[in-house]
Amino acid sequence: MQDAKSTRITFLLFPGITQLDFTAPAQALSRMPGAELAGAAASLDPIATDSGFSILPTHDFASCPPADILCIPGGHGVADALGDDATIDFITQQAAGAQWVTSVCTGAFLLGRAGLLDGKRATTHWGYTHLLPLVGAEPTKARVVEDGKIVTCGGVTSGLDFALTLVARLKGDTVAQAIQLAIEYNPAPPFTSGHPDRAPAEVTLGLRTHVYDAAAARMAAALGATT
């Protein structure tokens, strides 16, 4: 698995990020031959995640070199980030020269805010897919969606699927399979409730009522306020 050519993979970091949106694909992509990972934020201050701990950026926006792969994670902090001009400008500038532009979960809305999903097929977390037309995207029911150089994926754990898909595109299936084996990504969950298509209806209704109806309304308001 040797490769002399380096690939810079830059993750956007922002307050309120869902840490697994970032750390899951970062873990897989870091094992790709030639990978060089960066985490870029508005400053080098610690970034508070949704899990009660913080992460440290490697770069601020001004010092971050051009990305070959740009990845935008999601999280409840996306609604605030949508209104931050410096964040959107960073996405726009980095995306212009990137080979691949990607998102995990609600990170898709930051791509959309930067004008990168116009007319593109895309996906996001199931609780927000109905909002994708607000950023010009065509909602597509799949865990990973590729449209040109844009790759979007569903919620949280979908980041691993996206990462392995991208490794396969860049380095071939054998390398992607080796990484999957190395991290023992062999899902066998105790319940088949990972998507509304399979979860009990009362579980889906409860989660929508207690979390995602309000969260989606907040996202919609943020999109309306910034478009």
Catalytic residues, which ones?
Answer: 105
- Output the CA angle 158-156-108, nearest 5 degrees: 85
Q: Which residues contact 179 (CB under 8 A, 6 or more apart)?
A: 28, 31, 32, 164, 167
DSSP state of 155: S
Q: Which tokens sit at 110?
A: 């930051």
Crossing angle (nearest 10°) for helices 158-171 and 173-182:
140
- Residue 52: φ, ψ to 5°: 90, 5
b/e sequence 32-46, b meaning 16+ C-beta within 10 Å = bbbbebbbbbbeeee
